[in-house]
Structure 1
Amino acid sequence: MAAIPALKVRLLSNDPLEVDHDDVIKRYQEYLEVATDPEMRIRVAHRMANLKLQQEERALDEETATDELSQQNVAVDKAFTLQAIRDYEALLQAYPDRADNDALLYQLAKAYSMAGQNQMTIATLEQLVGEFPRSDYYLESEFRLAQLLYAVGDYEASEATYQRLVNYGPEQNQYYVSAAYLKGWAVFKQDRLEDSLQAFTEFLDEQYPDNSSLANASGGDLDMLNDVLRIMAIMFDDLGDWEQIALFYDARGKRHYEYLIYDRLATLYYDKQYYKSGASTLRAFVLRYPNDILAPRYYERLIDGYSKARYPNLARKHKQIYNEMFGVGTGFWLSHDDAVRETLVKPLSTYIWDLAGFWHAWGQNAKKAKDKKERLAESQVWYKEYIRSFPAAEDTVKAHFLLAEVAFELRDYPLAKDHYEVVAYQYPQYEKASEAGYGAILAFNKYRPAKNDALAWRQATVASAMRFVQEFPQDERSGTVLVNTAEMLLKDKYYRQALTTSRLAWDVADQLPERYRYGAALVRGHAGFELGLYEEAESSLLQAQTYSKIKRKEKADIRDKVAASIYKQGELAKASGDFPTAVKHWRRLASVIPESDTRIIAEYDAATLLMESKDYDQAIEVLLAFREQYPQHKLTADIPSKLIVAYEDKGEWRMAAFELQNIWKNSTDAEHQRIACFQAAEYFEKAEDIDNAVVMYKRYAHSYKRPFDAAIEAHYKLDQIYAGLGDEEKRRFWLDKIITLHNKAGKDQSDRSRYLAAKAAYDLGEFERVRYESVALTLPLDKSVTRKNNLMQAALKRYTQAVQIGSLEYTTSSTFRIGELYRQLSVALMTSERPAGMDEVEEEEYQFLLEDQAFPLDEAAIEIHQTNVGRTYDGLYDQWIKQSYRSLGKLMPGQYDKPEKVVTYVDQIR
């Protein structure tokens, strides 16, 4: 402990004397030899002791000064000090109860201190403060006592002494602040860390009640403040780590100066190169006071620490956290004024840019696609953040450009094009503006929008290309941009946009390299074709095929498309009703692209269109020429059907029949063959080519039993043809075939087949009836009767067959014919030739014999005719029933040959 400073002792007179100490002491000594007043003797003795102590202090001061100037040791005579101690002790012993002994004790303590007798100094000071608590020397003595106790290691006693000074209060106590400060140290020396922290906390609370007082600390106060903070940081570290600060003040209430403790503890760690601990300490403060104005600065210091320590991963991690805590738009940002925000701009911009650049570079160096994608996506996040945070910064344009580059690489084409366009058209003076404009077009072309957005996107694509050309007309890529855009639009089947763009490119075709002129023409051709602009497509494709480096296959494809364009022009003309123009286009195709397969179709369609327009003469000419030129072409197979129509319209039935014969012969479709066979027969018949008609009807009748209706009609046709020819024998054959066909038809039988079969049977019966009627009953009667009866039976069989088939039209006629056969035979018997040479009796007997033979025939005839007329009850009445009535009138005149009864009967039917 340093020597106690000299104090001025209060005496009766303090007037300075212009003499030295030795002289004064000598005079005081002379006075004592003669003085008798006890009080005066005490005062003089006291004064002499003080002078001797002052003399010692001066000697010590001279020694110090000499050390400072010459660094030489000066021997100091301690005699005066020891003599002063003896004098003070003698006085105190001689006068122990004097009221001013506090001054003697104070001086004695000083003398002991100067003599290096610390324990005696402590004892003397303890006596002084114990006996004289109101002494003017009390506060200083307490303070010196506390210092001496601290110096000798009695920290507990030192603490108690400092506490008494503190308890004394600050009023007129110049040692109050130092005592409070040193008390903390005394407690610290006892290893009572929390108590020491509490003591220092109380010191700081009282001495620095607000931030203003902390900021205004200077000189010794500032040194003391820094010392307190330093030792507090050490103690918190000894207690554990930075977390102890929060625990300590959570228990005792938060303090406004905690930030200084965190700062000193972090400094302590950083000085020891404990970088993570230092960072954790700073972070602990920020997390504890996230909205504190110092929080960003502490976090910046944390990041700087990691950077200096070469912990790049941790530095990046906390740059990200910094942005999350203090970035633009965060709670911290919004809760502070512009002045605070301004302090954040530089670190924020630096950190965000660093993060974006790191992830971008790392992503580009990645070897695995997955890693590349993830890293570039992270850089994208930070470029976006930079743009969001600092939209007006000078380097924001660069962030836009790099973000666009990253987005393009990640195939986020909408984002890429947005930021490319920002760079190109909001920062036209930027060195990469034109490159960005070009990148925007590429991004447009790469993206595949949803169907409902496709139209708008295509329009934006073209708009971007046009804007690029307008904004950067001197850019050598402006023309090729249009071509590339058009080609991509064509590839994506955005034909209208492709056509528009290729037209723009063609406007500057003279400035384009040949390859791009070719591309522009090709896109115009293909897009125009897809959009139905076939004339433009034809002309553009013909221009495209002149490209010098065109490949053979490409050229062939283009010529095919030209042929298709010409063909489509014909189709459009046809659709508009301009048939002559359509035929013209289709016919000219052969001269423009003679090698095209489309030519065949075009010629065929031209013939078809001529058919539709009913220009049959031309149509027939074209169709016949087509068949002759392309006999094996698949379309040739359809020519007969077209020729048939043409011939039909012209009434050339025989020519039509021959085409039907071709179909019957050559078609691979069995049904088509069948129909053609029947129709050919009909057309030959219509053309009165009977021979060919019979041939085709016979082929049909023999070849096609199904469908049944057509088969039986073919049989009937043959019957009718032979009827017309008067060929009874061939008629009999086909009539019989009709009946057989019907009888075997089963469920396919129809009213028509029933009618035709009944008719056939009836007609066959008629053939037999005519023969029957031609036979007269002559002698010998038995032979002629037998012959006639046989013919009658043949006729009966056919008529009966007609009745059994069940067609009403031939039921009544056949019934009538059957009745008549019986009646006629009866009449024939009665009127037959008589044998010659009979007398009257023989003639009468012969007559009776004939009547006996004729009677059953009449009865049979009556019964059959009655059956026929009986059908009137079913509502049926025709000429054959009427004739049956007439026959009954002859057979039964009494019943049926009565006009009044007939009228009545007819009336009944009605």
Structure 2
Amino acid sequence: SRFAPETWTRIGEHHFEQNELPQAIDAYQRVLAFRDSPYFDKALYKLAWTYYRNDQYDDAIARFRQLIEYSDERAAKTGQAGSDLRAEAIQYLAISLQEEDWDGDGLPDTDAGFQRVLSNVSGEKAYDVEILRAVADIFFDNAKYQEAIDTIRHLLATFPNHPENPELHARMVTAYERLQQFDRAFAERDNLAQSYGPDSAWYAANRNKPKALDAARELMEDALIQAATYHHSRAQQLRADAQKGDAAAEDEAIRSYRLAAVAYENYLKQFPKSENAYELNFFYAECLYYSFRFLEAANQYGVVRDSRLGDKYKEPAAFSAILAHEKSVRKLIADGRLPTKPSLTGADTSEFERTEVADEDNDGTVREIEPEPIQEPVVDLIGAMETYIGADLKGPEDKGRLPTIAYKTGEIYFDYKHFDEARKWFSWLIKKYPKEQVAGYAAGKIIETYRQAHDWENMAAWAAIIEEAGLEAGADDIARLKTGALFKKAEKLLDAERWDEAAAEFIRLVDENPGNRYADAALNNAAVAYEKSRRFESATNTYERLYRTYPDSVHAENALYRVGINAERFYDFEKAIGTLMQLVQQYPKSENRAEALFSAAVLQEQTQDYREAAQNYERYAQLFPEREDTPDTFYRAGRVYEKLGDTRNQIRIYETFIRQYGNDPKHNGLVVESIAKMAEIFDKQGRQRDAVRTWQRVIDEFNRRGMQPGTFEARYPAEAQFRLIELEFDQYKALKLRGSVKQQGKTIQEMQRRLKDLQRRYAEVIPYKSFDWTLAAFYRLGHIYQLFAEALYDAPIPESFTPEEEDVYRTTLEDIALPIEDEAVKSYEVAIEKAREFKVTNEWTKRIVQALNKYKPSDYPLFKEEKRLPAEMPMTPQRLVAIPEPPPPAEEITVDDEEGGAEDAPAPEEDSK
């Protein structure tokens, strides 16, 4: 029936009003079968609303969504408005989502709030933005600020170009403020201020929506001002805390000034014609200054100073521009990008110029002073000063600010030798402000310009100005400058290398003016001139006069040092040592103290005063522990104790060296050498167990420190390895063939076994690539074959043998010995070839040649000597070839005669190394 939709709708209304919600739901659902009925959207809305009333939130949300989509579909088809109930559906869908207790237990659900919103509104539907905005408004209105913030943040991320985003963003800032999370509020305000400007994607997407753009612009302007003033105020407070001693506050203050500067800069770019622009521009400059962006600050101060928008900040901006340029210039000087000048670094040069040594000549010739180029940053600084002066500005609290700036302007020109400009400014200052103290300073600078130009006439004229200015720099100072001229005259002779004349002038200056303030410097220069002309005795006498007459002079300790050096030069070692040690004792802060002590110790060592030398090397290490040469100098004490034969102190030095300096890899070589030296001491003292232990320590330390073969230091583990093997070699060498055939056979077998072992062990020396000990190992590899062959040749014939048996036995031994002897020769020849390849000669090459001469006298005559490089040269790994694999020893001999064994014999003298 056509009346059915209306009828069921009215039935539903009746049940709804009677709070009979299930019956109402049933009635409304029946209407949905009539989609084209005018009651369809009303029944659908009421069904969703009834579900909401009945706490069936999922069903309510679904029906509200169905109504929204029905309305949008109808509007799309007809071109007219959809359902009148669409806005209410959006609103009540949002209300359903913000409800906290869906399960009816009287408590908020675990997924209540933004989490529930996120679960039900994905953002995939176009109308989801309306739902989210409605939810955000409800959260905000119900003081659920965190949920509102989360929802808005989700909205901005999901729909980044929605026209109403700036207002939403502003509401999020307000929500943070309501939560009293002010830092986050201002952070979001910064974000708002930067997110909707002309360069943003949002702006591009909404360029045809002037209302949205105007609203955003208004919000951004307020946000930028708020952000800038917040960061600026916070920076000022942090700076005040830092000035009270809070170290952590300083960095945070700088950071806040930088944030404020960014906000001010963005504001001025976007709103240059705002009524706030003038004042905020000054604040912008201030923040740049206090965030150490001095050059940018100077430029912005200049903008405010020259602005026609106001004059409130004209003087402070003009003065601050000078300060900012000064800071920028000083930073460039500190970075080495500008030359250092007193006027630029803040050095106090306002007093009358008091040079330590005047540099005028008294020949009456006025000289031209070449101006130095003034770099652009300094030109800008001068420009800022001249602009301040030209505007005739007055400091509100410092009435002397303008005269001081004028003086500083002239001072910069003075430092760059632009004397005409400097005099112009100094003269203007004296004329304009004669009562100011800086006027007197300016007069002193003018005098100095004429002094440097040797213009004595003008210098005298300006002396009167000094007096009128009230400076206490009259006759005494002029006399000092004239005395300085005498010094300079002598100095010019020194520069011209006219040594004798220069020395005579310096001595005359001292003799004629004993109270002269330059006397000690003059004596020093006279001595230097005598040294240059090789008049060392006169130089020494002058240096002695200097440190005796002026013991407190800054030159006294150097004079004492030079006396010692010159005494050494003339072989007066006793005087040299005494003088150098006097310097060490009397001048503990002398820069020559270390060199003096070291030189004295060296001289004591050279004059064989070993005990004193060693003690002074040790003293050097105590007094100068941080010097780079201290470890080597301390080690040198051990070598001197070695010359004394004082093994106890020698070992003490070595162990102390290892303990104090051994952790530094650059001393690895001396550490290993120290251990090797101790092993040598133990060996010479017959303490074989200690020697063996220490040789092994040499090897272990070399390997532990990762030291490389082929280096100079590799000789120590190579020697240690060789010495350890030599103990086994001595046992091998002691074996002799004696007794019966069976006894001799056992000895031969023992020699074969030991030969194999010695081949392997001596080969372990080779990888260290040390010339001396590689050749020693090569020699031994041949020598062990030679000893084996000689033992066979020298074997006694058992007494029980008949002459025929003797011949057979002798022939058998010779047949065995010959190939062994050949192997000895081959090993020797390999060794001698390596020695010749590396041009090395030492005791081992001589032994090798002696051994080869025995077998091949014509090829290896004993008188033949070849030029060799020093054996100490480290072996380069690229040129060192691997040792040839030694051939296997002769076949073992087995005999069944009488029992016997090897007999030990003392090692020959030749091999007792």
TM-score under structure 1 length normalisation: 0.35
Structure ranking higher in helix proportion: 1
* Greater relative contact order structure (CA < 8 Å, 6+ sep): 2
TM-score under structure 2 length normalisation: 0.35
